[in-house]
Amino acid sequence: MTIRAVIFDLDGVLTSTDRFHTEAWQATCENWGIPFSVSSSDKLRGVSRKESALIILREAGLSLSEEEFERFSDEKNRLFVTLLDSMGEGNVLPGVKALLRELKPRYRLAVASSSRNAVKILKRTGLMPFFEVIVDGTMIRCSKPDPEVFQKAADALGIPYDECLVVEDSIAGVSAAFKLGCPVAGVGSASVASGVTYSLAETKELGDIL
Ligand code: G6P
Ligand code: MG
């Protein structure tokens, strides 16, 4: 297998902002009196804000009017963005900066995230300069498990899909990468996903492989 590019997910792979998504949903659900279990928050990894809200409501057996649904999702995003305001370089996951420094001269590097806040996160954590291509939630029509976000990143790099290693902490993202024929490094809860090329407890372990 030849790997010429590495396409990273963002939340939970490069930065600890996955926690903020969970915290923001939990607080929003508390406000709305909607049950939310942190243990099922893995299902929200990698899926869009709208899809996350739908999953939460489905699990609670509830439905909201269109207008309420908008307010519910907007409230979560406002809380999430407030949490981002306290964020800095300390939110880069352990060993990630050293890993990116090591990989940059040898591989083409991209970020592919479902988040519409991805650029803000990359700027605040100082990770922006490592990446040649960034595809985020504002640039896609379908979020993971649809492969669109990875396809756009690979196409922008001009590298064949089977030579792009995708690094993902979500099951939705792993499925998306498989659909495209990319090799996958599953991180954390996605390390046990069946068929992953590499299983990593933490992103930094990629340095031992590449
Ligand atoms: C990432 C996270 C998801 C989140 C999605 C949308 O993929 O893993 O949990 O729902 O981004 O984020 P946004 O910032 O656009 O609400
Ligand atoms: Mg993620």
Q: What is the pLDDT of residue 125?
A: 97
Tens-digit pLDDT profile for residues 72-87: 999 999 999 999 999 9
**In which element (H, E) is residue 93 found?**
none
Whole-number pLDDT of residue 206: 98
Q: Is 11 in the active site?
A: yes
pLDDT at 138 over 90: yes
What pLDDT was estimated at residue 162? Answer: 98
The predicted model gives 13-38 an average pLDDT of 96
- Bridge partners of 65, per DSSP, are none
Question: Looking at residue 7, what is its pLDDT?
Answer: 99
pLDDT digits (tens, 9 = 90+) for 149-163: 999 999 999 999 999
Q: Give residue 159 CA to ligand 2 midpoint distance, Å.
A: 22
In a mutational test of the pocket of ligand 1, which residue from 8, 9, 13, 52 has the highest number of ligand atoms less than 8 Å from its CB? Answer: 52
Best mutation site among 7, 11, 87 for ligand 1 pocket (most ligand atoms within 8 Å of CB): 11
Distance (Å) from CA 162 to ligand 2 centroid: 21
pLDDT at res. 38: 83
pLDDT score recorded for residue 196? 98
CA 129, CA 12: separation in Å to the nearest integer?
Answer: 19
Please indicate whether the domains covering 5-16+89-208 and 18-84 agree at the CATH topology level.
no
Distance 205 CA to ligand 1 centre (A): 24
Q: What is the pTM of this model?
A: 0.97
Q: Which of 11, 18, 136, 169 is catalytic?
A: 11
Query: Structure tokens of 55?
Result: 């999953």
By alpha-carbon position, which residue is closest to atom 2 of ligand 1? 46
pLDDT digits (tens, 9 = 90+) for 86-126: 999 999 999 999 999 999 999 999 999 999 999 999 999 99
The ranges assigned to domains in the chain are 5-16+89-208, 18-84
199 strand-pairing partners: 186
Tell me: cis bond preceding 35? Omega within 30 of 0 counts: no
Q: Which CATH class is domain 18-84?
A: mainly alpha
Specify whether the CB–CB gap between 117 and 89 falls below 8 A.
Answer: no
CATH fold group of domain 5-16+89-208: Rossmann fold (3.40.50)
Q: Cβ distance 34 to 54 under 8 Å?
A: no
Residues in the chain, total: 210
Residue 57: predicted pLDDT: 96
Active site residue 9: yes
Residue 30 pLDDT = 97
User: Could you tell me the pLDDT band of residue 186, with boundaries at 50, 70 and 90?
Assistant: very high
Closest-approaching ligand to the CA atom of 21 = 1
Residue nearest atom 13 of ligand 1, based on CA coordinates: 115
Rounded to the nearest integer, the mean pLDDT of the chain is 97
Looking at residues 172-199, what average pLDDT do you find?
Answer: 97
Distances (CA, A) of 79 to 10, 20, 111: 19, 9, 24
